[in-house]
């Protein structure tokens, strides 16, 4: 069984700041680091480090060739990554504050140059039972989801960053949703996800997507797994000294899906994912913060 991550590849410019810049303000950053990132690349690296045969598909410009090497060093097969001459690689401007929190400006660049021909070419290399992992940083998602469904791939969707267009996707084709609180609320049409009690959100998600698996991550509050009308499973978050939360959610997604593909039970995969995410939070950067399987399995704070 193979995992295909069809998603973004970004150059992350991470500025360490004392606080996020406000309207009209100019601030100095304490440091600037350039990291490999993009939700797609991060999740591909996490899937591969979790121990599954992983392929990445997407587009970069010639300025992003070093990102291909990062993927390959993590064991990801990059034969489906296209290098485009006329596009710049996607990038992210990330402010990382003293609490480890971040805020991000995204420039899609080559990530938005996916074509249906490319999607067809990529998907023809996969078969029923393989797993497709998607986020919301590339174009042509509706087409990719429909084609993947026809082929019989298992479709995992992390609808991040959340925006109105996600509601137009063929969500009925999705087998597994990886969501945070805000994404859950928006999928449910609620105004304020923070106001909703966890139990309400979980119940409503189960009702809205009765045949899908749903994983709801809530940072320090842990995570939940729900399927159909079954009882939700709760996973605690492992303690970690937060340095940079960038890619913690991507790490969780890759290790949970990777764990399940390797035959772990839901509680085992949730536990492994929570350990991996805690390690990632304590390290700076996006994909460089993603642990190996051995590190995640051994994490005992
Ligand atoms: O999820 C973290 C990622 O979001 C960063 O690596 C950045 O590139 C943005 O896509």
pLDDT recorded at residue 192: 64
Atom of ligand 1 minimally distant from the CA of 91: 8
Do strands 10-16 and 31-37 pair parallel, antiparallel, or not at all (unpaired)?
A: antiparallel
Give yes or no for residue 193 having a pLDDT over 70. no
Cis peptide before 161 (omega within 30 of 0): yes
Checking phi first, is residue 216 left (phi over 0); if not, alpha (psi -120 to 50) or beta?
beta
User: Does 63 belong to an annotated binding site?
Assistant: no
Cα 169 to ligand 1 centre (Å):
21
Average model confidence (pLDDT) across the chain:
95
For ligand 1, atom 8, which residue shows the shortest CA distance?
A: 38
Cα 248 to ligand 1 centre (Å):
10
Q: What is the number of helices (H) and of strands (E) in the chain? A: 9, 13
Cα 281 to ligand 1 centre (Å):
13
pLDDT range class, residue 200, cuts 50, 70, 90: confident
Q: What is the pLDDT of residues 128-173, one digit of tens each?
A: 999 999 999 999 999 999 999 999 999 999 999 999 999 999 999 9
Atom of ligand 1 minimally distant from the CA of 10: 8
Cα 228 to ligand 1 centre (Å):
30
pTM for this predicted structure: 0.96
| Residue that has been written with the tokens 């991040």 in this structure | 160
User: Does 222 belong to an annotated binding site?
Assistant: yes
Residue 223, C-beta contacts closer than 8 angstroms, at least 6 positions apart? 215, 216, 217, 234, 235, 237, 252, 270, 273, 274
Tokens of 45: 């690296």
User: Does 90 belong to an annotated binding site?
Assistant: no
Residues with CB under 6 A from ligand 1: 8, 10, 12, 37-39, 42, 92, 104, 106, 137, 246-247, 250, 286
For ligand 1, atom 9, which residue shows the shortest CA distance?
A: 38
Q: What is the pLDDT of residues 71-89, one digit of tens each?
A: 999 999 999 999 999 999 9
User: Does 217 belong to an annotated binding site?
Assistant: yes
């Amino acid at each position: 069984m193979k995992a295909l991550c069809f998603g973004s590849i970004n150059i992350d410019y991470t500025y360490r700041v004392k606080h996020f810049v406000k309207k009209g303000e100019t601030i100095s950053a304490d440091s600037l680091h350039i990291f490999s990132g993009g939700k797609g690349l991060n999740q591909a690296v996490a899937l591969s480090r979790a121990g599954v045969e992983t392929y990445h598909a997407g587009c970069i410009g010639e300025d992003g060739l070093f990102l291909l090497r990062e993927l390959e060093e993590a064991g990801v097969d990059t034969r489906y990554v296209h290098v485009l001459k006329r596009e710049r690689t996607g990038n992210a401007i990330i402010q990382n504050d003293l609490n480890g929190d971040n805020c991000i400006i995204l420039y899609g660049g080559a990530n938005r140059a996916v074509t249906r021909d490319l999607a067809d070419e990529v998907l023809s290399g996969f078969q029923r039972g393989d797993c497709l992992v998607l986020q919301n940083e590339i174009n042509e998602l509706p087409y990719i989801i429909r084609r993947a469904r026809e082929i019989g791939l298992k479709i995992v969707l992390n609808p991040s960053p959340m925006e109105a267009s996600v509601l137009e996707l063929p969500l009925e084709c999705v087998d597994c949703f990886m969501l945070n609180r805000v994404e859950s609320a928006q999928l449910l049409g609620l105004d304020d996800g923070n106001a909703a009690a966890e139990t309400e959100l979980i119940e409503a998600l189960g009702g809205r997507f009765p045949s899908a698996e749903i994983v709801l991550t809530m940072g320090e509050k842990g995570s939940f797994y729900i399927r159909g009308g079954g009882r939700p499973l709760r996973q605690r978050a492992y303690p970690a000294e937060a340095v940079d939360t960038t890619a913690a959610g991507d790490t969780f997604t890759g290790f949970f899906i990777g764990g399940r593909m390797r035959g772990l039970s839901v509680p085992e995969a949730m536990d492994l994912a929570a350990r991996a995410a805690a390690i990632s939070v304590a390290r700076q950067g996006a994909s460089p913060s993603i642990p190996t399987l051995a590190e995640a399995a051994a994490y005992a704070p």
